[in-house]
Amino acid sequence: MKQIGYFISFLIVYLFYFPFKVLPYKWCLAYGIFLTNLIYPLDKKHRKVAADNIRFAFPTYTEEQILNLVKAHYRHLGILLAHTLWAPRMTKKWLDENLVIDDESLKIEEETKKQGVGVILISGHFGTWEILVQFLGIRMKGGGIYKKVRNPFVDQLLRRMRTKNGVVLVPVEESTQVIKLLKQGYWIGFGADQNAGKAGIFVPFMNRQASTFVGPALMAYLTGAKMLYYSVLAGENGKVIVRVKDLGFVDKKLYPSKDDVIRHYTELWTKTLEEEVKLFPEQYFWVHRRWRTQPQVTANK
């Protein structure tokens, strides 16, 4: 009975996905924005989450500025939706025509390729991250961390979509495989800015403490891989903007303990993400509960 329910859910998902599989790229973008315009007035819950998050992140904003940013964010969510479902159709030719990358970012990327080292490619729920998955497959020897979806039919569809351009997907539970790939020179993508709950460490992010996964810094520490931060952003007229920051290799002598070193590099990439969010605030994923877990406050006795 459960399998029947899974299959019916899969059919609904596939019907929703199908237009993005056949429509021209620009039409897909317009359709995605159209859908989120329909959702916006009905989605009071997530509008409130976004507004509350923005209020903390930008304490000097007026209520009018907050409302305008929420509206701009929902428009971006339409582009993100379109990119997510259209991305498996990406080709090298399309990327060559639509990729916008500044000279400094391109230099960092090319020099890193020449070094032949494994790369921890750090990004966040910012910009258009599913485009980054295909980008990795086309431009690098790429891999990504993958969390299995409960519905096996939907899981198979998502895996097929994400591996379309050759990305190697690694289940989140198989950290030893990530280490092996990094030592083989793979570029492994980490979208590491989810709420980590009790599994994370607290670091400052957008004026609040945020429970943050240490995976990227820990993997760099264990393997000697290089850390690069990537912003992949939705640009004008369907263009994709790529911005790269070189976070370097882990220096184990920087602090006296392993935990201190990992904290330093976790704070470093989180601060880098914060700086990017401030430049393109409408493209951060404000509707997710990034700051849900907060440090416990011990009452003074």
Under the banding of pLDDT at 50, 70 and 90, the label for residue 165 is: confident
Residue 288 scores a pLDDT above 70: yes
Segments making up each domain of the chain, as ranges = 1-283
Q: Check residue 163 and give its pLDDT.
A: 87
Q: What is the mean pLDDT of residues 132-156?
A: 88
Q: Which residue has the tokens 């290799």?
A: 249
Residue-averaged pLDDT of the chain? 93
Residue 184 scores a pLDDT above 50: yes
Q: Which residue has the tokens 């317009």?
A: 30
Residue 300 scores a pLDDT above 80: no
Phi-psi domain of 93 (left: phi exceeds 0; alpha: psi -120 through 50; beta: other) = alpha
3-state secondary structure 102-159: CHHHHHHHHHHHHHCCCEEEEECCECCHHHHHHHHHHHCCEEEEECCCCCHHHHHHHH
CA–CA dist 6, 33 (Å, integer):
28
Q: Residue 252, exposed/middle/buried by CB under 10 A (0-12, 13-18, 19+)? A: exposed
**SS3 (DSSP) at 209:** strand
Q: Check residue 298 and give its pLDDT.
A: 52
Closest to 82 in 3D by CA, of 14, 137, 36? 36
> Which range is most confident: 63-72, 141-150, 193-202?
63-72
Residue 149 scores a pLDDT above 90: no
- Token readout for 190 is 């980490």
Residue 159 scores a pLDDT above 80: yes
Residue 149 dihedral angles phi and psi, to the nearest 5°:
-90, 140
Q: Look at strands 201-205 and 187-191 and give their pairing.
A: unpaired
Q: Check residue 299 and give its pLDDT.
A: 46
CA–CA dist 127, 191 (Å, integer):
12
CA neighbours closer than 13 Å in the CB half-sphere of residue 296: 5
Q: What is the mean pLDDT of residues 85-89?
A: 93
With a CB cutoff of 8 Å and minimum separation 6, the contacts of 47 are: 40, 70, 74
Q: What is the mean pLDDT of residues 123-143?
A: 91
- Token readout for 243 is 């911005």
Burial 160-176 (b: 16+ CB within 10 A, else e): ebbbbbebbebeeeeee
* Percent residues over pLDDT 90 in the chain: 76
Residue 146 dihedral angles phi and psi, to the nearest 5°:
-130, 130
Element (H or E) spanning 15, and its range? Answer: helix 2-22
Residue 270 scores a pLDDT above 70: yes
Q: What is the mean pLDDT of residues 89-98?
A: 93
Q: Check residue 189 and give its pLDDT.
A: 92
With a CB cutoff of 8 Å and minimum separation 6, the contacts of 9 are: 151, 153, 154
Contacts of range 71-76, beta carbons closer than 8 Å, 24 or more positions apart: 71/40, 72/282, 73/282, 73/283, 73/284, 73/286, 73/287, 74/36, 74/37, 74/39, 74/40, 74/47, 75/33, 75/36, 75/37, 75/282, 76/234, 76/282, 76/283
Give me the architecture of the 1-283 domain, per CATH: 3-Layer(aba) Sandwich (3.40)
Residue 229 scores a pLDDT above 80: yes
Under the banding of pLDDT at 50, 70 and 90, the label for residue 297 is: low
**SS3 (DSSP) at 97:** helix
